[in-house]
Structure 1
């Protein structure tokens, strides 16, 4: 059985700025699924974010697009291989123009930080001690 893939669809106001932001964090877009209305952000072999211009996003829903300056549409969480990698990614996001919505959360066996990307989508980056998960 192959691994399940996830494609998170996110509306963006400025596709070029969003692509540039994620490139500064070391991510790329799959050109096969990228055009002037959408970009397929490759997060891993099984995780993708479809960055869709707002008009393109509206083709998939009859609901209003969330105003991320006043509402939270979702909390997107990615794992990191270490506490240091959490800090590296969030610090790179901040340097690329992201905002940090809250202080780091350190529970000893689990450490996490968050950033809001240029469009206001909240990304949680967390590390968990593998020994704590096992038992």
Structure 2
């Protein structure tokens, strides 16, 4: 299992943002300091208030204008990539924080959530065509 822990400045806003991207909230592991957002049976995004975050580390929270990590999410199609990035822009995030990349067999676009955490929505042709497709 993978738990991606993210500090957020407004828990309700961030929870609504990730719900708009298609994640669901698991109330069993959520409270006024954290929202457990379910991406799959084995991947969870833990949205943590700054106060909750500070119980795990004394390291400073990166400003929204920096990149500490880029997390890639596989999508079912090019259209699904576009839909995810468009939803991000509609619900308080930022679309295309990096240039889109289209290599034919692989297509990706990047979005930032309201706190500046960068996600890469990507589709790849898994038929074995590779770069020569």
The alignment's TM-score, normalised by the length of structure 2, stands at 0.92
Distance in 1, matches of 2:58 and 2:98, equals 32
Moved over 2 A (4+): 132-135
Change (3 A) 1:103 1:34: same
Alignment of 1:82-97 (within 5 A): 82-97=77-92
Shift of 1:26: 2.3
Q: Which has the higher helix share?
A: 1
Q: How many residues align?
A: 130
Q: Which has the higher strand share?
A: 2
Change (3 A) 1:85 1:134: same
Alignment of 1:67-106 (within 5 A): 67-69=63-65, 71-100=66-95, 101-106=97-102
Distance in 1, matches of 2:85 and 2:105, equals 19
Unaligned residue ranges in structure 1 (runs of 5+): none
CA RMSD in angstroms, aligned pairs only: 1.5
Asked if 2 retains the 8 angstrom alpha-carbon contact of 1:109 and 1:132, the reply is no
**1:125 and 2:121 correspond:** yes
Residue 14 of structure 1 aligns with which residue?
Answer: 10
The alignment's TM-score, normalised by the length of structure 1, stands at 0.91
